[in-house]
Amino acid sequence: MRRRDEGEPGRPPVPVPGCAACAELAARRDEARARYDGSAETDANVLLRHHQRRDHGGGVRGRRVFRYVPYVLAQDPTAEPEYEARCVSGDETECGAGSGVRSGPADVEEWLRVHTQETGHRRYRRTFGDYAVFEAQEDGPREGTTP
């Protein structure tokens, strides 16, 4: 069972008796609570917990360290990108013919060429789809990634 002074979430930390720093931070918290300043009250609780971990051992639990890890967005190498085109030629209504999903842009371009030869249509909507993953950045941005 956790003790109250171990910093349970939602419970304010209890000052260590006889510690002037704990008393000052608890007084700051009480003043903020009296002013209905929830932000300042939370700040005082955070400072009191940090002080207690640093100067009073922080209870049974060890100190947690959070580090910023930059991530980069990269194309997923395990999934093939998809290419597709749809004919949008037509005055009042679009033709609507489509290439279907293809594995490369050259396949779609070939479909466009054939469709244009057969119909005379010259306006298309092309789409590209891929899968992306966020990866932890190691030493710096890698080729093919967006910082």
How is the beta sheet containing 145-146 ordered, strand by strand?
Answer: 132-136, 71-75, 145-146
Give per-residue pLDDT as tens, 37-90. 888 888 988 898 888 888 887 554 555 667 788 889 999 989 999 999 999 998
Specify whether the CB–CB gap between 38 and 80 falls below 8 A.
no
| CA gap 81, 99 in Å, rounded | 15
Tokens coding 130 = 């891929």
User: What are the residues whose beta carbons fall under 8 Å from the beta carbon of 111, sequence distance 6 or more?
Assistant: 85, 99, 102
Rounded Cα gap, residues 142 and 49, in angstroms: 40
Question: Using one digit for the tens of pLDDT, what is the confidence trace for 8-25?
Answer: 556 788 888 899 999 999
pTM (two decimals): 0.45
pLDDT category of residue 138 using cuts at 50, 70 and 90: confident
